Structure 1
């Protein structure tokens, strides 16, 4: 009997864990998830690193923090060193997956500072700095899909650097992300880079769409509105996959593929269910299609392994259903364009807040690092 995660992998979905910490790496937990849960990659963000480094029950960062403190490292330098080390070590653990999948998977993502989300040049510069520091071919540099981020995505890909485009909410912005990716490959080709070595995923956020839409639907207090709850996120993602199919079948995209380029895979992010009234595997079992990635928090991964029911492709036969959901939302007065813009703005703000929390956490840790190191030595 196969497990649900094996079934999901067999259906063409790459399972990535949306979490990373030094203790996961050192304890062997990450390697165990590869062998027992079919995990083929990892994504990180400022919130994840803030939780890991700020975990009072985890002393795995004490020694490196003490070393950084004694070297006189400032907060941003310490964050850079700690996070790139974790990502490099995780990339090494995933290297056999990277090799076994022909470089498709085994990917580990690290994000540029959210403070740079609206600064194209600074984002591009940090992307190159992170890529050089991690120094692993199976890394991905995460860049948010803001207006400024689009140009940075193209510039980063043009340097031969693989990119995870994050914080995508709208179909319109997703179309712009695909354009930015294709432009990046075209420039990379002109710059003499081997296109086969450049990979990218487009991270389309799912559950947050339902959270915002359902909040607005609650204001209508009608049966029609209630019936639409929990449907917008799936509809949005399914139509994104249809757009993916169309755009990568164009002559422009196919010419790049013929030159060795890879398609930019859709990645379903924010797949932890936030509404307890919905099934806890909803954004996994209902978003199955070949050539996709689903990055899951551990709770969702374990729920999928325990009781997820994988029935094959649950996207491509539902395009009409998805368009109907959007039409019904529009009829009620729910402005999807406004929803997705609000979510993009909030997403950047939340990552900025987490980044600043991470800075505070590391600043405090650097101050107490010598004391902790002394206690651990006794």
Structure 2
């Protein structure tokens, strides 16, 4: 496997995380197989993933029966089921966590999406999830809403590692990095060992193209149509530039010298939605050191099968990326409007998935009684 595209991707500095988790995948040994054969070194989850996992198969029947017999509420049942999966996956990845000093071997679990605009509730549930999972290689996912920024800072300050999710704009990404650095400063003041704190910032890719391409189609000019499928990669490439600049500042350098870790960019939403776009685009165009790419299994397999990894594909592309973003404005696409809409829709979609998860578990609990 040492010569596979996924091995080459890892060698180029990209940590491959799987954007999926289910009890069946854990129990079947499928997760270990992906670690051994596809260079997977972490897992991310979200309400949509858990809703899908709970809706199919029999892997959860035994636990659901126990929870039903105890008259467990649906929200408590979801809490128990999802944290059990994350703890079990964390145990599988623990050797990688130990071998990489905490950078990889990570499993993420998200706070309830309904708390996205409630900092206090997010902070409280982040602590509850961290305590319940009780694994040092867990990451608590907090959305990068304006209210989420406070929650990121306070959760890091409490000594809890965080995966910041739903980032679309460069401006918000800068605010996320600032929230992380402030959290580290508070954590240091609180007596925490900064070397034990890790964070990733999940920058969404394909959703940017989906929305912008829709607007380009509506404009319909040759200039507009020539820009289709380019915005997501360009936006993410410029995010990497923000990352490198932010962690080269004196403020960041002081924290890093004290044992702190960089908050690595994570490329999320890397499954290609447009059949006209190469299925490995959001992998091969976003290669650089110190990044994570969390992939749905279909994208992971496509990368393993025919991904062409040619080293750093980000830093040589900054000028072209800036040209793409400028050209979008020229043809009439307001990128700021797009990213604001995507954040709003992202929260709303996760709330829908969360409600589907609650409905699924409610039905399962009733059927088990």
State the TM-score, normalized to the length of structure 2.
Answer: 0.99
Structure 1 residue aligned with 2:177: 178
- Cα deviation for residue 223 of structure 1 reads 1.2
Aligned residue in 2 for 1:295: 294
Q: Say yes or no: does 1:259 pair with 2:258.
A: yes
SS at match of 1:68: helix
Alpha-carbon distance in 2 for matches of 1:327, 1:101: 39
State how many pairs are aligned: 368
Is 1:310 the equivalent of 2:312? no
Deviation at 1:7, TM superposition (A): 0.2
Measured against aligned partners, the alpha-carbon deviations of 1:159-198 in whole angstroms (never above 9, x if no partner) come to 0000000000000000000000000000000000000000
Q: Indicate yes or no: 2:144 matched with 1:145.
A: yes
CA shift for structure 1 position 115: 0.5
Deviation at 1:369, TM superposition (A): 1.8
- What is the rounded CA distance, in whole Å, between the counterparts of 1:206 and 1:354 in structure 2? 20
* Residue 116 in structure 1 maps to residue 128 in structure 2: no
Aligned to 1:373: none
**What is the CA–CA distance in structure 2 between the aligned matches of 1:103 and 1:247, rounded to whole Å?**
22
User: Corresponding residue for 1:31?
Assistant: 32
After TM superposition, list the pairs within 5 Å mapping 1:1-378 onto structure 2.
2-55=3-56, 58-370=57-369
Structure 1 CA distance for aligned equivalents of residues 102 and 265 of structure 2: 17
Cα distance in 2 for partners of 1:343, 1:329 equals 17
- Cα drift, residue 24 of structure 1: 0.4
SS of aligned partner of 2:294: strand
CA distance in 1, matches of 2:98, 2:200: 18
Gaps of at least 5 residues in structure 2 are none
- In the TM superposition, what whole-angstrom CA distance separates every residue of 1:283-322 from its partner, at most 9, and x where no partner exists? 0000000000000000000000011010000000000000
- Give distance in 2, aligned partners of 1:185 and 1:363: 40
Question: 1:119: Cα distance to partner?
Answer: 0.2
CA deviation after TM superposition for structure 1 residue 59, in Å? 0.4
CA-based RMSD: 0.6
Could you tell me how far apart the structure 1 residues matched to 2:101 and 2:153 are? 24
C-alpha distance in 2, partners of 1:221/1:329?
Answer: 13
Q: What residue ranges of structure 1 are gaps of 5+ in the alignment?
A: 371-378
Q: Which contiguous aligned blocks of 4+ residues in structure 1 show a shift greater than 4 angstroms?
A: none
When the two structures are superposed, what TM-score results if normalisation uses the length of structure 1?
0.97
Residues in 2 aligned to 1:172 and 1:333: alpha-carbon distance in whole angstroms: 20
Give, in whole Å, the separation in 2 of the partners of 1:348 and 1:137.
27
Partner-residue secondary structure (3-state), 1:40: strand
Distance between the aligned counterparts of 1:352 and 1:251, measured in 2? 39
